[in-house]
Chains A and B, each alone.
Chain A
Amino acid sequence: NAGVTQTPKFRILKIGQSMTLQCAQDMNHNYMYWYRQDPGMGLKLIYYSVGAGITDKGEVPNGYNVSRSTTEDFPLRLELAAPSQTSVYFCASSYGGARQGSDEQYFGPGTRLTVT
């Protein structure tokens, strides 16, 4: 199993550009998440999904959009990139069984995004 994969690993955007961060998991997990991690800080939840076709906002959703058309994929779209979106972005997944909150989250390697 590849686990959780993210592309690209690094990206530099100009202010106002748009891009999509890709995330895929091959563990048949129901739950998927997007976090951002600013330097020296913890992870902030952007969006999450509990299954295909179902998404919900996290703590910091402004400036981002997501979709979940399949169990495997959970892309994150940045519209009109701003310098405040410079961060490392992590995708994660978890099984989401009977006691969903107890499941371990498996993280991807992260995408380092710089907006200048």
Chain B
Amino acid sequence: AQTVTQSQPEMSVQEAETVTLSCTYDTSESDYYLFWYKQPPSRQMILVIRQEAYKQQNATENRFSVNFQKAAKSFSLKISDSQLGDAAMYFCAYRSGNTNAGKSTFGDGTTLTVKP
């Protein structure tokens, strides 16, 4: 079974600064995908960024980027120029590829506070 570990229950960052959220995972599969989701106080889950394991290039979406280290099974999220609206709980998630694609594993989350 796959596991996802987020070792930072809480993080804080000053507005306009940069913060990195950590995620490690364990799997024996070769075909998989990794995601970061954001959950604001409204509880709505929102996709932030995704990474295909077969791609070496790190994914980037505007102010959000990842550092994907496949051999180390590490998948950290960097938020640049932090904004007040970035305050939320962030979840790292793993999904198997193809025949097991229905199965997702989420970490326990990191609560991000953004200070004005």
| Interface, chain A (partner B; CB < 8 A) | 31, 33, 35, 40-45, 48-50, 56, 58-59, 88, 90, 92, 96, 99-105, 107, 109-110
Contacts and interface: CB of A to CB of B under 8 A. Distances in A.
Nearest to B101: A100
A101 B108 contact: no
A102 B33 contact: yes
Q: What bracket does the count of chain B residues touching chain A fall in? A: 20 to 34
Contact of A109 (B31, B43, B108): B43
Contacts of A41: 108-109
Interface of B: 1, 4, 6, 31-33, 35, 43-45, 47, 50, 52, 91, 93, 95-98, 100-109
Contacts of A56: 102
A35 B101 CA distance: 15
B104 A105 contact: yes
Contacts of A104: 35, 47, 50
B103 A58 contact: yes
A109 B44 contact: yes
B102 A99 contact: no
Contacts of B108: 40-42
A42 B98 contact: no
The interface centre, meaning the residue of B44, B45, B98, B103 with most chain A CB atoms within 10 A of its CB, is B45
A101 B31 contact: yes
A102 B34 CA distance: 8
Given A42-B91, A105-B45, A107-B44, 7 more contacts: A31-B102, A42-B108, A43-B91, A43-B106, A45-B105, A102-B95, A110-B43
B45 A45 contact: no
The interface centre, meaning the residue of B6, B31, B101 with most chain A CB atoms within 10 A of its CB, is B101
Nearest to A96: B101
Contact of B50 (A49, A102, A109): A102
A41 B98 CA distance: 27
A44 B96 CA distance: 15
A42 B97 contact: no
B97 A100 contact: yes
